[in-house]
Amino acid sequence: MSSIAIDPGHGGKDPGAIGPTGLKEKECALKIALKVGQMLKKHNVKVIYTRTDDSYPSLTQRAELANKAKADYFVSIHLNSSTSPSAHGTETFSFKRGTVGEKLAQKIQSHLVKSIRLANRGVKQENLLVLKKTKMPAALVEVCFISNPKEEALLKSDAFLNKAAEGISRGILAQLSTT
């Protein structure tokens, strides 16, 4: 049985980004992450969450939890933010190019964009701590911009959160089907 560590970004003392009407990244990330977990479990995938409530494990703790559980993949779920309110769309990060983590990021990105139909900002590389410290292939998805008024409004809709979770799950399942 494959196992996936799902990491809802931020939590507890760390709200993450905050939208123009006050919506918090930590809450949206948790809702999407729990939905992704439910969908994966239906496909017989073992799910390890780094948090399931409003707590704040440190970035190192999140990576160590996934490493100890020997998860096959690690997926961190975030909402993007910019000082420019017009910034919009979906992007996914991997630690390095040419890795299985990049393949995972590409699959999540393409299925997520198909599902929620926001602008495709592509797959990028960044030296993010959770991607660096996890031993398994890892990706970090920025579903949309909570700082953008239109995209923040979408995040208040359960139907949108479901679509986002479906897209992320399909991407993960597509990656699992290659291994």
Binding residues (CB under 5 A) for Zn ion: these are 9, 16, 78
Q: Which is nearer to Zn ion, 29 or 65 (CB)?
A: 29
Annotated catalytic residue: which of 25, 91, 102, 142? 142
Q: Which is nearer to Zn ion, 30 or 45 (CB)?
A: 30
- Least Å distance, CB 39 to Zn ion, is 21
Helix (H) or strand (E) run with residue 76 in it: strand 73-80
Candidates 105, 90, 164; CA nearest to 139 is: 105
Q: Which is nearer to Zn ion, 8 or 171 (CB)?
A: 8
Indicate the length of the chain as a whole number: 179
Q: Which tokens belong to 101?
A: 């983590």
Asked whether 101 and 139 are in contact (CB, 8 A), the reply is yes
Catalytic residue at 152?
Answer: no
Q: Which tokens belong to 105?
A: 């990021």
Q: Please list the active-site residues.
A: 142
